[in-house]
Amino acid sequence: MAVSFVTKAGPIVEAQAPSRDMDPRIDAAVAVARRHADAVDVEARFPREAFEELRAQKLLGLLLPVEAGGEAARVSDVAQICYALGRVCSSTAMIYAMHQANIACIVQHADATPKFSSYLRRIGQEQMLVASSTTEGNNGANVRMSESAIQSNAKGISLSRDSSVLSYGADADAIVSTARRAPESIGTDQVLVLFFREQYNLTEGASWDALGMRGTCSAGFRLEARGEAEQVLTTPYERIHRHAMMPVTHLLWAACWAGIAAGAVERAQGFVRKISRLAKGALPPGAPLATQASLSLMTLVNMVGAALADYKRRAASKSGLDEIAFQTSLNLLKVGASELAIETVMRALGAAGISGYRNDSEFSIGRLLRDVLSSSVMINNNRILANTAAASLLGGVPEQI
């Protein structure tokens, strides 16, 4: 069956959508995610129904090559799904985004060996859900620095790691982790390693009782893993980070946050419509805020759409991904998308007033606001702004629009 990534929820950018046909698989997953979104949040539990559906619809392995059971889909296709899921269940969308970013890293940097090809086939055939461990100990979001190291001996490799924030660790089928290349390596000499469920033990440490994104179940774990030497990708993590982990993660996270913002705008618009019907056409005082929410959503959607198009163009000629201007813009996309998404949800809350503030109203914005606030914390915006300060100064301003 030909795949179309346009859903009832609509594309992020119309011009990027390959077709206007509905993809019933995506709509089916969105419907299930919507049905369970409140329970996932209240119970802070993994959105298992949505992931059963995503797995049944074979939407977990989309980015894998066809020979590995995937559909060789594009990152922009996956972004549409993140957006569609984000409109109904932030946790489902964010888990899906993190999983797909992990898949993108291992597909784009897969070693051309029979062993690694068999790993990819397994991921595709079993429609595995892949988690990632980059946050370690008290190192915060310093992704480009690892404490734990790969240990090697004649039997294979092992890794012992304090994964202090590991989303859906307990429900994942595999984990990709950063690590120092070897015990004698410095912290920034990192590799990316893939482990399958039966190869690791997770001992839960910090629990996950958070303000929002409660269904991501981002608890802390002690990870003890053993595997084959071939499970360590030979491409240095530094390159994987620049070409796949950072750009794809930021694009897909931004698509999720745009989805959450769209969900909030839909609620605000629904509220304004209802009040104006009751008032025989008179718009409530909050109506201009709903318009402002639509405006900031439009700006956000255009920002994500432009970044997706830029990534697609540069990914076609891999060298374009290394340009400082691109790296800076994708880092700043994370900050910009996060700020705009929060602003949009806040405006939607203003428009819906007490109906948005209540948890028990059909126009409630509460869960969406709590969820979207995670965007500034998840690799802290301050950290990114500080890290990109020098490059931003050097870049000056655009010569033209």
Ligand X SMILES: Cc1cc2nc3c(=O)[nH]c(=O)nc-3n(C[C@H](O)[C@H](O)[C@H](O)COP(=O)(O)OP(=O)(O)OC[C@H]3O[C@@H](n4cnc5c(N)ncnc54)[C@H](O)[C@@H]3O)c2cc1C
Among 4, 80, 92, 167, the residue binding ligand X under the rule CB under 6 A is 167
- Is position 216 an interface residue for ligand X (rule: CB under 6 A)? yes
Would you say how long the chain is, in residues?
401
Q: How far is the CB of 353 from ligand X (least distance, A)?
A: 28
- Choosing from 10, 18, 140, 320, the residue that interacts with ligand X (CB under 6 A) is 140
Beta carbon of residue 245, minimum distance to ligand X (angstroms, whole number) = 11
Looking at beta carbons only, is 44 or 309 nearer to ligand X?
44
Q: Compute CA distances 397 → 115, 194, 313, 391, 394, whole Å.
A: 47, 40, 21, 12, 9
Query: Per CB under 6 A, does 166 bind ligand X?
Result: yes
Q: Does 391 bind ligand X (CB under 6 A)?
A: no
Pairing type for strands 200-204 and 151-153 reads unpaired
First to last CA, the chain: 40
Q: Quick count: other Cβ atoms within 10 Å of Cβ 396?
A: 7
Least gap, CB of 379 to ligand X (angstroms): 5
Position 382 contacts ligand X (CB under 6 A): yes
In the complex, which residue's CB is closest to ligand X? 140
Residue number with CB closer to ligand X (239 or 370): 370
Tokens of 323: 């340009």
Contact call for residue 144 and ligand X (CB under 6 A) = no
CA distance 324 to 310: 14
**78-137 positions binding ligand X, by CB under 6 A:** 98, 131-135
Output the smallest distance, CB 374 to ligand X, in A.
4
Task: Choose between 142 and 276: whose C-beta lies nearer to ligand X.
Answer: 142
Pick the binder of ligand X from 12, 174, 213, 307 (CB under 6 A).
Answer: 213
User: 213: alpha, beta or left, given left = phi > 0 and alpha = psi -120 to 50?
Assistant: left
- Residues contacting 324, CB < 8 A, separation 6+: 391, 394, 395
Burial of 15 (0-12, 13-18, 19+ CB in 10 A): exposed
* Binding residue (CB under 6 A) for ligand X from 309, 383, 391, 395: 383
Q: How far is CA 144 from the centre of its chain?
A: 19
Closest CA to 125 of 191, 85, 66, 203: 66
Strands 174-180 and 130-133 turn out to be: parallel
Binds ligand X (CB under 6 A): choice among 110, 129, 165, 365 = 165
Q: How many binding residues for ligand X (CB under 6 A)?
A: 22
CB-wise, 106 or 378, nearer to ligand X?
378
Coil, strand or helix at 252: helix
Tokens of 181: 């290349």
Binding site for ligand X (CB under 6 A): 98, 131-135, 140-141, 165-167, 213, 216, 218, 374, 377-380, 382-383, 386
